[in-house]
């Protein structure tokens, strides 16, 4: 059992690092803006499908990845605008956008799934050795995620970042400070879903194919990673809030790997993950303690 688990460690590290981008995407609307957003369930596969469609059509893989991120950001902005303009709860707006994205993915690729040759990926553009070595992939994704974390920490310390945090802390007070809540809600949702789409684009180029169903269950996995990370790192500062999803993603996927190594059936993972999130969110309420808000 231990041998199987240790053999899976590099593979799981690669998976956890790239999926930590989705966990960060979950954190931004939940923690920074205090708004729940389910759009990542659609923006993650959208990024992958757009990247696959463009790359196989002859686009440069870097340009395809950038367009994939832009598509995810537009999906997040659409959710925010539906929430703000039509006064539809952000939770429902996210569900509607994620549902519509499924049709967009089919239109973009022209089929439910599409393969992407390794030599057409951004990894091959750097060096073909990346896709041949798990540990090299770990190094690449660790550098990427580290850069994203540092960039977000720097962004949150800027005037724009502070305004974004202010809107999440007290949207009613923001106009008195000259801050437009609507602008920053759109910005926050766009930023979050752009990161999720980046994760989708990178996963597609790594595994060599895109599928319209590749986002199924990604939301619950990311939420579980966020909860685990906050339990370990905490959320007392903005640095901790940004690092927590990454730490939680690494721990969560290692736990999944350990479960599989001990003989847990893969079909049980979704149920156990959902049960874990449900218990974690509901236990404080059942024990009479105040539960940390995950959105309103």
Strand partners for 210: 114
The DSSP output letter for 175 is G
3-state secondary structure of 115: strand
The three-state DSSP-derived secondary structure of 246-283 is: HHHHHHHHHHHHHHHHCCCCHHHHHHHHHHHHHHHHHH
pTM: 0.90
Residue 242 pLDDT greater than 80, yes or no: yes
Residue 122 forms part of a structural domain: yes
CA 197 to chain CA centroid, Å, is 8
pLDDT digits 0-9 by tens, 18-29:
999 999 999 999
Q: How confident is the model at residue 296 (pLDDT cuts 50, 70, 90)?
A: very low
Q: 261 burial class (0-12, 13-18, 19+ CB within 10 angstroms)?
A: middle
> What domain range is 48 assigned to?
2-286
Phi then psi for residue 36, to 5 deg, are: -75, 140
In total, the chain counts a number of residues equal to 296
Using alpha carbons, list the distances in angstroms from residue 217 to 22, 101, 271.
12, 15, 10
Residue 199 forms part of a structural domain: yes
Q: Is the Cβ–Cβ distance between 38 and 217 less than 8 Å?
A: no
CATH assignment at residue 94: 1.10.3470
Distance (Å, whole) CA 227 – CA 123: 31
For tokens 């847990």, what's the residue?
264
70: nearest Cα among 62, 236, 213, 242: 62
Residue 292 forms part of a structural domain: no
- The number of distinct structural domains making up the chain is 1
Q: How confident is the model at residue 210 (pLDDT cuts 50, 70, 90)?
A: very high
Residue 153 forms part of a structural domain: yes
Helix (H) or strand (E) segment spanning residue 5: helix 2-27
Q: How confident is the model at residue 290 (pLDDT cuts 50, 70, 90)?
A: low
Residue 291 forms part of a structural domain: no
Residue 293 forms part of a structural domain: no
The DSSP output letter for 29 is I
pLDDT digits 0-9 by tens, 157-172:
999 999 999 999 888 8
Phi-psi region of 263 (alpha: psi -120 to 50; beta: other; left: phi over 0): left
Residue 276 forms part of a structural domain: yes
Phi-psi region of 110 (alpha: psi -120 to 50; beta: other; left: phi over 0): left
Residue 89 forms part of a structural domain: yes
Residue 149 pLDDT greater than 90, yes or no: yes
């Amino acid at each position: 059992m231990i041998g199987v688990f240790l053999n899976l460690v590099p593979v799981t590290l690669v998976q956890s690092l790239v999926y930590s981008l989705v966990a960060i995407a979950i954190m931004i609307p939940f923690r920074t803006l205090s708004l729940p957003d389910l759009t990542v369930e659609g923006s993650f596969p959208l990024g992958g499908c757009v990247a696959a469609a463009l790359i196989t059509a002859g686009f440069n893989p870097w340009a395809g990845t950038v367009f994939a991120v832009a598509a995810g950001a537009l999906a997040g902005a659409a959710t925010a605008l539906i929430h703000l303009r039509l006064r539809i709860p952000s939770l429902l707006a996210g569900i509607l956008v994620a549902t519509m994205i499924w049709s967009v993915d089919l239109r973009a690729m022209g089929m439910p799934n599409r393969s992407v040759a390794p030599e057409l990926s951004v990894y091959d553009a750097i060096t073909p050795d990346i896709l041949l070595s798990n540990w090299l992939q770990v190094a690449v994704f660790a550098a990427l995620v580290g850069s994203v974390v540092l960039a977000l920490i720097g962004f949150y310390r800027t005037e724009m970042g502070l305004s974004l945090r202010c809107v999440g802390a007290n949207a009613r007070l923001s106009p008195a400070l000259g801050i437009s809540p609507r602008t920053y809600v759109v910005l926050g949702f766009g930023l979050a879903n752009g990161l999720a789409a980046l994760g989708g684009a990178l996963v597609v180029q790594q595994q060599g194919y895109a599928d319209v169903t590749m986002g199924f269950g990604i939301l619950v996995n990311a939420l579980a990673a966020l909860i685990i990370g906050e339990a370990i790192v905490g959320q007392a500062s903005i640095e901790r809030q940004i690092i927590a999803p990454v730490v939680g993603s690494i721990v969560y996927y290692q736990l999944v790997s350990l479960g599989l190594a001990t003989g847990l059936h893969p079909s049980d993972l979704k149920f156990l993950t959902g049960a874990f999130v449900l218990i974690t969110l509901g236990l404080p309420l059942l024990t009479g303690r105040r539960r940390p808000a995950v959105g309103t």
